[in-house]
Amino acid sequence: MAEETKAVEATAAENTATSNTIDLPAIYGVKAGMTRIFDEQGNHVPVTVIKLIPNVVTQVKTTAKDGYEAYQIGFNEKRETLVKKPVQGHLKKANVELNATSFAEVQAASIDEANLGKVVGLGEFTESSFVDVTGTSKGKGFQGTMKRYNFAGGPATHGSHFHRSPGSIGNRATPGKVWKNKKMPGQMGNKKKTIQNIEVVEINADKGYMLLKGSVPGSKNGFVRIAKAIKK
């Protein structure tokens, strides 16, 4: 009887945990860094370690109220004293205990207001599947065309005065201007980048990490958006 009671309690706990979670096509995590692993054939595989953090539905956008349908999810938990008062009120209205300070919207196939306050699960992601990862690339400041766009540059010797300059950028009298989007020196990096079709090598929900094959945009400890691959 005792064993049956424990089994029933465990099943009830699993059902409660399942009912309190929702699977969405995108989650947010933290880029912890890179390492390497070895597969079953002994091949060396470089991977990026993604730290899994709590994602909670903090608002349900509906067509009647907002003009479109989406879930607003909150993440990046901080101490309560660091959460602004309007944000605290927003979380309290949604019955969310997580002190989230960052928010994003995720579209889903179906929207249900009953999912407000639920934790986003990992049911949409499996090992050997493919994802699109979005993050803010590392900022490298103001750079020239050789570093920014891999220009070849000019001769390095024989008295040449053309070394790292971009060269001619105009079109003479016609059209008499410089075209937009010309490759010029400027700010490099610190932009939103998405890398598509990255393979999921391993998911360990108990220890709170995910391994993605190869590199992903962003710096260490930066937030990344992991979504189901749209081209797979």
Q: What is the pLDDT of residues 147-204, one digit of tens each?
A: 999 999 999 999 999 999 998 888 788 888 899 999 999 999 999 999 999 999 999 9
Per the domain annotation, does 2 fall within a domain? no
- Here the tokens at position 146 are 């050789």
pTM for the model: 0.83
Per-residue pLDDT of the chain (232 residues; tens, 9 = 90+): 555 545 545 444 454 455 789 999 999 999 999 999 998 899 999 999 999 999 999 999 999 999 999 999 999 999 999 999 999 999 999 999 999 999 999 999 889 999 999 999 999 999 999 999 999 999 999 999 999 999 999 999 999 999 999 988 887 888 888 999 999 999 999 999 999 999 999 999 999 999 999 999 999 999 999 999 999 8
Q: Total domain count for the chain?
A: 1
How high is the pLDDT of residue 12?
Answer: 45
Contact criterion met (CB below 8 Å) for 98 and 54: yes
Q: What is the Cβ-side half-sphere exposure of residue 33, based on CA atoms within 13 angstroms?
A: 2
Per the domain annotation, does 179 fall within a domain? no
Element housing 88 (H / E): helix 85-93
Alpha helices of 136-205 — where are they, by DSSP H?
145-149
Per the domain annotation, does 6 fall within a domain? no
DSSP letters along the chain, please?
A: -HHHHHHHHHHHHHHHHHHTEEE-SEEEEEEEEEEEEE-TT--EEEEEEEEE---EEEEEE-HHHHSS-EEEEEEEE--GGGS-HHHHHHHHHTT--S-EEEEEEE--SS--GGGTTPEEESTT--TT-EEEEEEEPPP-EEE-HHHHH------SSTT-S-SS-------TTSS-SPPTT---SEEES-SEEEEEEEEEEEEETTTTEEEEES--SS-TT-EEEEEE-TT-
Which structural domain, as residue segments, surrounds residue 83? 19-140+188-228
Q: Is 99 helix (H, G, I), strand (E, B) or coil?
A: coil
Per the domain annotation, does 4 fall within a domain? no
Torsion over CA: 20, 26, 29, 33 (sign): positive
End-to-end CA distance of the chain: 49
Per the domain annotation, does 81 fall within a domain? yes
Per the domain annotation, does 172 fall within a domain? no
Which CATH number fits the domain that encloses residue 34? 2.40.30.10
Per the domain annotation, does 28 fall within a domain? yes
DSSP 8-state secondary structure symbol assigned to residue 56: E
Contact criterion met (CB below 8 Å) for 51 and 30: yes
Work out the number of other CB atoms within 10 angstroms of the CB of residue 189.
15
- Here the tokens at position 55 are 């994602």
Per the domain annotation, does 14 fall within a domain? no
How high is the pLDDT of residue 109?
Answer: 86
Residues pairing with 227 in the sheet:
26, 132
- Here the tokens at position 150 are 């891999």
